[in-house]
Amino acid sequence: MKYCFSVALVAASSLLLSASPGYAQKYLKAMDTFRRSEFLENYILPIPTNPSNPVLDVKSPEMMCRAGNFTLGTQKALEVTSNDVLYLSFDLDNRSANPTPLMKDKNIWGPCAVFMAPAKPVNGVHKWFKIYEYVGDKDAWCSETIISNDGILAVPMKQFLKSDTYLVRAEVIGLNMAEKTNTQDPLMGPQFYPSCGLVKYTNTDGSVMPNGVPVGVPFPGYYKEGHSALKLDIMTTTALSYISKMALLGPPEYDPPAIAHDGSNIA
């Protein structure tokens, strides 16, 4: 199930997550606009040491959240329901009440994706499932669309997940220098900009999918260097032509199952 890219306000919680660089923040909403100046709280994991820098090595632990070896415990979780929308703000300012929108010089071209994972790891590993993916259209990449929308990306929450605390991982993949792998040239390769926040998700659907959550993948460990979606010439690649490559890169976006109208668990 694909959702249209939109920044229209809805009756929803608003989590602002960073990608390159930035910080998860919660803002008050006016009736028809975000009041960015009314900074409230942070739901970010520990701040990256060098938040302006992308991750170039797909095997790096920074591929998960660019937050080092963090432990959960004191971070606040934004309360959301399965019918809420997360508003992700890709900002340049660290915890600023008046953030500067990301990539004003439009020098990052590529797709974006958003993942979730239960906050409690299994055997020490977080397994991530994709809740949103947008490559772009005939006119612009997702990264460019974020710019044109003042740094905001609206991501509807998925339904039928078990009520739990989750990590949310927002990611932009910059393909500007992806014609070589990072192994071939340590200054080249796709540029990954992941960032994570924490949400407390409440299922308001009356039904829960089997096992509570979709099958997830690990970061690092899932993306492979040299994959056709991660090694290409951006000058000869359009967002539309990249959609098929993104599908090969995966993982697929979670598509909620049919609603169980009797309120029972979905089989």
Give the residue ranges of the chain where pLDDT is below 50.
1-41, 93-95, 97, 103, 105, 260-267
Rounded to whole angstroms, how far apart are CA atoms 257 and 267? 9
Q: pLDDT per residue over 74-87, tens digit each?
A: 677 778 888 887 87
pLDDT at 265: 47
pLDDT at 38: 31
For the chain, list the domains and their CATH numbers. 15-249 (2.70.50.70)
Both tokens assigned to 134: 């947008």
Q: pLDDT per residue over 96-123, tens digit each?
A: 545 555 545 467 889 999 999 999 998 9
Q: Is the dihedral of CA 20, 157, 211, 166 positive or negative?
A: positive
pTM: 0.81
Rounded to whole angstroms, how far apart are CA atoms 185 and 58? 14
Q: What is the mean pLDDT of the chain?
A: 75
The DSSP H or E segment spanning 154 is strand 152-156
Rounded to whole angstroms, how far apart are CA atoms 126 and 118? 7
- Sheet with strand 34-42: strands edge to edge: 15-16, 25-29, 34-42
pLDDT at 94: 46
pLDDT at 118: 95
pLDDT at 115: 94
Cis, peptide link before residue 251, omega less than 30° from 0: yes
pLDDT at 200: 86
Both tokens assigned to 228: 């056709």
pLDDT at 155: 84
- Between the alpha carbon of residue 194 and those of residues 84, 191, 208, 212, 244, the distances in Å are 22, 10, 28, 25, 22
Give the closest residue to 242 by CA, choosing from 137, 144, 149: 137
